[in-house]
Every structure is written in structure tokens, then in C-alpha cells.
Amino acid sequence: MNNTLKVVVIGAIAALALMALGFAMPRWLLFTATKAVAFGIVALGIVTLMRGGLVSFGQGMYYCVGAYASGQLAARYGVTDAFILLIVGGLGSGLIAAVVAPLVARYRGIFFAMLTMALSMVLYGVLAKINAIGGSDGFNLPKPTFAGFAPQDGASDIALYAVAVATASLCAVLCRLYYDSRPGLIALASRENELRVEYLGASVFAVTARNFIIAGVLAGLGGTINAMALGHVDPFFSYWTTSGEFVFIAILGGYASAIAVFGAALITELVRSFSGSYFPDSWQLLLGIFLLAVIVFLPLGFGSLWARRRVTPPPADEEIRS
């Protein structure tokens, strides 16, 4: 089967299955799952960057921009349609990422991580001081509507969850196709050997800038979903610990897979919400041990558990490797 078709079909089936599962979930789990899906989308952006050899410690910035852009639109102008908000949030953060991209694309390693982090902290500080949009307290936004429907309570939660899952599936499918494409392969090559990629005639700068913008859009989408889910937005969205959490999820998921981050996000959120109520003083300890264990035992993340099979010898089929 054609790779594109296969990825799209798997994505669609997964989306429908997860949406159906939403009807069976208790409300608290629905909320946690929605948040996890949103985090997963942001982490997918970091995964995309990781495939180009970089880790951003400042994705909170684009998460925050998406949440503020769509949140302001909802709170100030009464636009509550989830789809419009998602488009505005994604485009808004993508635009900011596009402005920042040429600035950060020539940095590598620790310097890239620190520069992106510093930028997100600047945004955090600025937002905390702008009282017109709530200062450090942030602001609340009204419940989302869905293409003219304004479902009540439980139904609204399910609808938002479904929108989150649909968005995530679309993102994962598009990312997977990109990873498998020629530009995706070249990005992966620049992770392994920049010098060689440049000497073959490609621009590592352009690869990085492109990945950075993609990551920005994804973070904005995640931020918009969480703004709608929480009904509240504040500058903490851009604080470095928020970004740290995204990195955490991305490392857990690993860069081999576009799906694993969502599992990683769900696990992280469940650990957090369970230990938050049962052992509030040790969930970070748990996360730390978890992160170490993954780095040591699964250096390519959860995704490598099944993605490894992708590199086994090719079948004699029309498409060599899917």
C-alpha cells in the first residue's frame, strides 16, 4: 500500500477510535486526556525539532502565544468557535515562530536550548506586566462553541476532546508524512552530520528554520486547546517549567515516532494527576526517575519500541519502506 494512504488511514482509524473512547471516559479522565493531547501536540513540535538535532527549551513561548491569541479573540471579541480559535492560535504562533526562526536557526545544542528558553522568559515577563490582558493573573475565556453548536457541560467536554483528538491526528499524520518525505530525510541527516548535508548542497539553516516554524504552529495549536479546556490563560504558559514539561514528554516519546508523544503525554498527565492527589510531594521525583530511566534504557524514547521495526529489510512491494 502507498505510504501516504497508509499513514492517513491509520491516523483516521486512530482518531475515530480515540473519539469513541471519549464517550466511555469519566469526566476527570476526559479533561486529563484533552490536556494530554494538547501537550502531545506541543511535544510533537519538539520531536520535529529533535529530528533536526535540536531541543527547544522555550516551546512554552509559542504555546503561550497560541493561547493568548485565541484567548483574546474569545474573551474580547466573543469569537468562541473552536475551529476559528485553533486556526488563529496556530497561525499566530506560527507567525511569531517565523519571525524568531531566522534568529535562532544558526544556533546549536545548548545555545539553541538556552536562547529559546530566554526568549520564552522574556515573553513571560512582558505578559505578566501588561495589565490590559490580565497581567500575571491572566484572563478567563468563555466556553468554546463548535461550528454553531454550544453543547452543555458534559457534551461540551466531549466535543472539545473530540476536536483535540482530531487536531492531534491531523498533526501526527502530516508530521509522519513529512518525516518520511525527502525533506524529512534531509532533516534527519542534518541531525547526524550537518557538515555533510551542507556539502551535499542543502542548507541546515533552512532545515532548522522550517522545523522551528512547524514546531511553533504545533505549540500554538496545543496552547489554544488548553486555553479552551482550562477556560483560563496566564503568563505561566510561557514559563520555562512549562517548556521543560514539553521537553520531558518529547524525550519520553522519542523522535522515532509521531504517535509515541501522545502516549508519553497521557502517562505524564496521569502520573501527575494521580500523585497530585495521593502523594503531592513526590510526583516530580517520580517524573525524574522516569526521565532518567528512559534516557538510560530507551534512548530513542517509547517510540523506538515499535519504530525500530521500520528500519528492517525492505519487503518486495511497490513501496520499499513505509
Partner 1 sequence: MNLALTILIDGVIYASWLFIVALGLTLVFGVLRILNFAHGGLYALGAYSAAVTVGWFTGHGLDGWFTILAMFIAALAVAVIVTPIIERGLLRFFYGRDEVLILLVTYAVFLMLEDITKLIFGVDPYYVFEPRTLLGNVEIGSLFYVGYDLALIGTAIVCGLAVWLGLRRTRIGKVTLAVIAEPEVAATMGVNVSRIHLLAFGLGVFLAALGGALTAPLISVQPGISVSVVIVSFAVVIIGGLGSIPGAAIGALIVGIARSFAVYKVPEAEIFIIYLVMVVVLIFRPEGLFKPIQARRI
Partner 2 sequence: MSIPVLEARNLCKAFGAVVAADDISISIEQGARLALIGSNGAGKTTFVNMVTGYLKPNTGTILFEGTDVTGMAPRRITRAGMSRSFQIPQLCEPMTALDNVLVATGIAATGRQSWFRSAHSRADVDAARAILDRFDLVDYADQPVGELPGGVRKLIDIAMALASKPRVLLLDEPTSGVSSDEKFPIMDRVMRALEGESAAAIFVEHDMDIVTRYAERVIAFYAGTVIADDTAQAVLANEDVQRYVTGRKR
Binding site for partner 2 (CB under 8 A): 3-4, 174, 177-178, 180-186, 188-189, 192-193, 195-203, 311, 313-314, 318-322
Cα-Cα-Cα-Cα torsion 9, 299, 207, 94, nearest 10 degrees, comes to 70
- When CB distances are held under 5 to 8 angstroms depending on the partner's kind, the choice from partner 1, partner 2, none that residue 124 binds is partner 1
Q: How far apart are CA 10 and CA 1, in angstroms?
A: 12
Q: Should residue 289 be labelled a site residue for partner 1 when binding is judged by CB under 8 A?
A: yes
Q: Should residue 204 be labelled a site residue for partner 1 when binding is judged by CB under 8 A?
A: no
Q: Which is nearer to partner 2, 177 or 270 (CB)?
A: 177
Q: How far apart are CA 181 and CA 161, in angstroms?
A: 30
Buried b (16+ CB within 10 A) or exposed e, 204-221: bebbbbbbbbbbbbbbbb
Q: Least distance (Å) from partner 1 to the CB of residue 188?
A: 16
Which residue bears the cell 474580547? 76
Report the run of H or E that residue 314 belongs to, with start and end: none
Q: Should residue 117 be labelled a site residue for partner 1 when binding is judged by CB under 8 A?
A: yes
- When CB distances are held under 5 to 8 angstroms depending on the partner's kind, the choice from partner 2, partner 1, none that residue 111 binds is partner 1
Stretch that binds partner 1, among 39-47, 208-216, 278-286, 314-322 (CB under 8 A): 278-286
List 140's β-bridge partners, or say none: 232
List 139's β-bridge partners, or say none: 233
Kindly identify the residues of this chain, within the stretch 26-55, that bind partner 1 according to CB under 8 A.
55
Q: Should residue 113 be labelled a site residue for partner 1 when binding is judged by CB under 8 A?
A: yes
Q: How far apart are CA 270 and CA 26, in angstroms?
A: 14
Q: Should residue 291 be labelled a site residue for partner 1 when binding is judged by CB under 8 A?
A: yes
Asked whether 23 and 44 are in contact (CB, 8 A), the reply is no
Asked whether 242 and 42 are in contact (CB, 8 A), the reply is no
Residue at 72: amino acid letter: Q
- Which candidate, 21, 61, 16, places its Cα nearest to that of 266? 21
Q: Least distance (Å) from partner 1 to the CB of residue 204?
A: 14
Q: Which is nearer to partner 2, 182 or 309 (CB)?
A: 182
- When CB distances are held under 5 to 8 angstroms depending on the partner's kind, the choice from partner 2, partner 1, none that residue 251 binds is partner 1
Q: From the list 102, 154, 276, 288, which residue makes contact with partner 1 (rule: CB under 8 A)?
A: 288
Q: What residues line the site for partner 1 (CB under 8 A)?
A: 55, 103, 106-107, 109-111, 113-115, 117-119, 121-126, 128-129, 195, 240-241, 244, 247-248, 251, 281-285, 287-289, 291-292, 295-296
